[in-house]
Each structure stands twice: as C-alpha cells, then as structure tokens.
Amino acid sequence: MKPYRVMLLSFLVLLPACAEKSNPPPLAEPPRLLNSMPADKQTEVTEGMMEILLLFDQNVTLGPSPRITLNGVLVTDLRPGTGGELKLVVPPLEPAVTYTLVVPGHTVKGPTGVFLPTEIRLVFTTRTPAPPREALSPQAEKLLLFMREQQGKAILSGTMANVAWNTNEAAWVHLHTGKYPALNCFDFIHLPFSPASWIDYGNISVVENWWKEKGLVSAMWHWNVPANSAETGKYAFYWGSGPEETLFDIAKINDSSSEEYQRMIADIDKISGYLKLLKDKQIPVIWRPLHEAAGNMGAYPGGTAWFWWGAGGAEPFKKLWRLMFDRMTHHHGLDNLIWVWTSQMTDAGWYPGDDYVDMVGRDIYNESGTATIKNDFTTLQERYPGKPSALSECGSVAKIPDQWNAGAKWVWFMPWYDYDRTVDTGSEAFQLSTHQHADADWWKDAFDTDYVLTRDEMPDLK
C-alpha cells in the first residue's frame, strides 16, 4: 500500500471522532418551578402566614436587585436554601384578600448561572374568617374576634394558676419582668370539695379582679370522679386500676340510667353554677375542658389514654363533649364560654366538630427545638381552618421568639405552674428566678418582643 493511501485511511478513521468533538456541549437547563406554598389558584389560604415557599428542581440564587412583588409591594426578605427552596418572608397575610406574587423573568438562576427567562406569577386567596358562632355574649364575641385577629400578628402571654384559686404565677412573672401576662388560667380540679374553708369556687373575687385589670380569663377542669380506693371521699382523674386512679366508665354516657351518667350530669350542672357567676359579671371565659383526651393513643403501639374521659376511645369522648356543650350552652345559658379543644396530633377522629369548638390547643413539653413545634402548629392550622391555634400548655420548650421566627405563631402560650414558685408571694422561694417549666429569662425573652402581648396591652373587651 502506498503511503498516501495509509494517510487517507487514517484521516477517514479519525474524521468521525473529530466531527463528534466539534459539536457544542448541551446548554445547561434553567431552574424549573416544581410547586409552591401557597399553590397557584389556591383558595382558603390561612391568614396570618408570613412565608411563601417556592420549590425548584435545582438550588437557586438571585440576580442583582431582584424585583419580586406581592400585590405590587416589593419583597425584600428573600432566602434561598437547600433542596431548591426559595423562601419569601412577607407581612402577615390579611384575611379575605386575593394576592398576586410576581417573580420577573431573569431573576432566579441555577448553579450554572442560567436564569429562568420566564415570569412566575402565582395568584391565591386567603380565607374569609367565620363569624362568631351564635349565642355568644357581647364580651365573649369581642374576645373571640380579638383572638382571631391576632393569629399570625401577635401572641398573648398566659400563666397557669396552681390548683388553688389564685394568680400567684402571674405575680411571679410580674416580679421578674415588670409585666403581667395577658391571660390567667384557673382549674376547677377541686370541684368535689367546693365550697370548703380552703377552696370555694363561689368566691370569684380573684377572677373578677383579674378581669377588671383587663386580664383575660381561662379555665380548665381536671375532672375528679370517685377513685378506686376503698376509702370514701377519694377522687381521681387518671384512668387505671390503682387506688389513686379511677375506672370510671365513660362508655356509660350511652346509658342515661347509669350511675356514671348521672354523676357526669351532676358535675356538669355544679360547675355550670360556678361559671354562671362569671357570666353574671359579664366575664368571658376561654374554656378548655376534657384536655389531652387521646393521651398516647395512636402515638405508638400500645399507647393509652391518661384520663378517664379518653379511656373509652373517640366516640364516647365526642358524645360527652357535645353533651357538655349542649347542656352548658342551652340548658344553663352559658353564652360566655369560648370552647377550646386540645389536640394530641394523632387524634383527628376525636375532634368534636366545628359547631362545638371555637379554638384548638396543643400541649407541648420538653421540646427545645422548633421543628416539631412548627410542624404541630402548621398541622393544626391546616386541619382546622378558621380555628385559632394556641400553645395551651407548655414546659421546657423553645423560647417564644424562636418559635415565632420558625413560623409557629400561636394565638396564646401558657407554661404550666411550678409548685415552688406558687407559694406565698412573700416567701424566699417566691423570689427565685428559676422555674420548672419556664424561668425568668425565658419570660424576659418573650416580653422583649413587640408581638408578645401583656395584660397592660389588652383592649377593653367589657
């Protein structure tokens, strides 16, 4: 073979490879929007939200001087994150408003620097708040409307009184911060013994004085029934077979001739008499009975209820709740009660129904982080639209500013009481800044914010 033929063959062999290398590489793809929260054309969006989330198929950054607007107002707090997230922090969304979010083309770019050339436009509408339910007193209607308006904008501070009839916890907070919490919660735990020299729910002066100072009044009920003890006069609310517990059968709610049914009606009537004293003074009550009914049921295999009112499962519990609501509202005419149902998060089937619940609460303890707390808040808001959500009990939890900044914008919060801090206000122990559930520094961090409301910041709801 002649040399020029070898050269020609070599050239022909190399030609396809060279041609292949000469083709330009494929262009990098621009980011693609996968979804958003709220979604485009979504209605009934929760008012008070302060975050809009855009999720792309790749991590994104922003071009210089981005002009992202919400209803024509420039959004300046833009937070690209991992996993393709772009979080927009906005003022609290107002109720019954249609919003338009515009992200102009050539604003969002991917890791390779390629911009999304097209505009993103999302339109969504916040829900219209439900009017107060019928048959509320003027004061209770004002209070419920006020709390609905605060959701997402402000959070009311609250304290839980110890099992006596007092405001000592609130006084302890005032001692260490110079301010009183907006709300004080009382417990009718001693109902079987009242009236007595040491407890008399008929003397409402402590509640009346708190209300006169613009403090909000809440009440709950650790419902004591006869204990298993052979000793007479023993009562319990924890469900179980021990002498300090009770096997009181809530299922007897279905048998109006049973001793248990008659006991339930008698106790509801007795406590209604005390609540009527508050009604007669035009004092609205944030009423939170039958709390934490499901206990650990559904949380893990073998989980049980803690209290007798949840030991029979969801159906008898809901029947008891509705019976109490109807008897208090219609038989006793208690129009001053705002009804709060407490969720255990795994108990959606226990919800008594929108007609029987004004607000929902969540009791959280020993959660120093914010992820679970934020998730619980979001779940309640989505599961029960139109119902304000409260941190109805707490202890050893993340600071309120950390919860708020994470997106858990409760309508009120209430740490549980500490026996050592609720003793006589003149005692040495009362002066201590330590606390089992929320120490003085925890409270100072809360009160140092603009959105945590104290008693002196309450409007006149009378």
In a domain, 9, yes or no: no
Parent domain of 404: 138-457
Tell me what pLDDT residue 367 has.
97
Per the DSSP assignment, residues forming a β-bridge with 61 are 109
Rounded-to-integer distance, Cα 174 and Cα 168, Å: 10
Same-domain pairing of 50 and 152: no
Model confidence at 429, in pLDDT bands (50, 70, 90)? confident
Which residue, 125, 148, 177, sits at the end of a domain? 125
Model confidence at 50, in pLDDT bands (50, 70, 90)? confident
Main-chain dihedrals φ then ψ at residue 5, nearest 5 degrees: -70, -35
Tell me what pLDDT residue 24 has.
53
Rounded-to-integer distance, Cα 187 and Cα 249, Å: 23
Q: pLDDT at residue 434 above 80?
A: yes
Same-domain pairing of 56 and 142: no
Compute the half-sphere exposure of residue 287: CA atoms within 13 Å on the CB side of its CA: 26
Same-domain pairing of 153 and 98: no
Rounded-to-integer distance, Cα 409 and Cα 383, Å: 16
Which CATH number does the domain housing residue 309 bear? 3.20.20.80
Rounded-to-integer distance, Cα 340 and Cα 71, Å: 35
Same-domain pairing of 229 and 363: yes
Short-list 151, 161, 177, 146, CA closest to 412: 151
pLDDT tens column, 188-247: 999 999 999 999 999 999 999 999 999 999 999 999 999 999 888 999 999 999 999 999
CA 396 from chain centre, in angstroms, equals: 16
Q: pLDDT at residue 6 above 70?
A: no
Domain count, the chain: 2
Model confidence at 423, in pLDDT bands (50, 70, 90)? confident
Main-chain dihedrals φ then ψ at residue 333, nearest 5 degrees: 70, 30
Contact 446, 399 (CB under 8 A): yes
Which residue, 125, 153, 177, sits at the end of a domain? 125
In a domain, 25, yes or no: no
DSSP of 250-275, one letter per residue?
A: GGGGG-TTSHHHHHHHHHHHHHHHHH
Contact 320, 290 (CB under 8 A): yes
In a domain, 370, yes or no: yes
Tell me what pLDDT residue 437 has.
97
Same-domain pairing of 304 and 394: yes
pLDDT tens column, 84-124: 999 999 988 888 899 999 999 999 999 999 999 999 999 99
pLDDT tens column, 68-84: 999 999 999 999 999 99
Same-domain pairing of 340 and 206: yes
Which residue in the block uniquely carries the two structure tokens 């003074």? 281
Model confidence at 45, in pLDDT bands (50, 70, 90)? confident
Contacts of 423 (CB under 8 A, 6+ apart): 168, 429, 430
Tell me what pLDDT residue 79 has.
95
Contacts of 124 (CB under 8 A, 6+ apart): 38, 39, 40, 41, 42, 43, 45, 98, 99, 101
Same-domain pairing of 231 and 327: yes
Same-domain pairing of 237 and 310: yes
Contact 252, 260 (CB under 8 A): yes
Q: Known catalytic residues?
A: 292, 393
Q: pLDDT at residue 424 above 60?
A: yes
Q: How many residues does the chain have?
A: 462
Question: What mean pLDDT do residues 343-366 have?
Answer: 97
Residue 298: count of CB within 10 angstroms of its CB: 16
Model confidence at 5, in pLDDT bands (50, 70, 90)? very low
Same-domain pairing of 114 and 155: no
Tell me what pLDDT residue 163 has.
86
Mean pLDDT of the residues in the chain: 92
Same-domain pairing of 116 and 200: no
In a domain, 26, yes or no: no
Q: What angle do CA 407, 413, 415 make, to 5 degrees?
A: 125
Tell me what pLDDT residue 11 has.
39
Same-domain pairing of 240 and 142: yes
Same-domain pairing of 100 and 241: no
What is the torsion angle, in degrees rounded to the nearest 10, for the CA atoms of residue 132, residue 135, residue 137 and residue 142? 0
Residue 136: count of CB within 10 angstroms of its CB: 20
Tell me what pLDDT residue 428 has.
86
Rounded-to-integer distance, Cα 430 and Cα 266, Å: 38
Per the DSSP assignment, residues forming a β-bridge with 218 are 185, 286
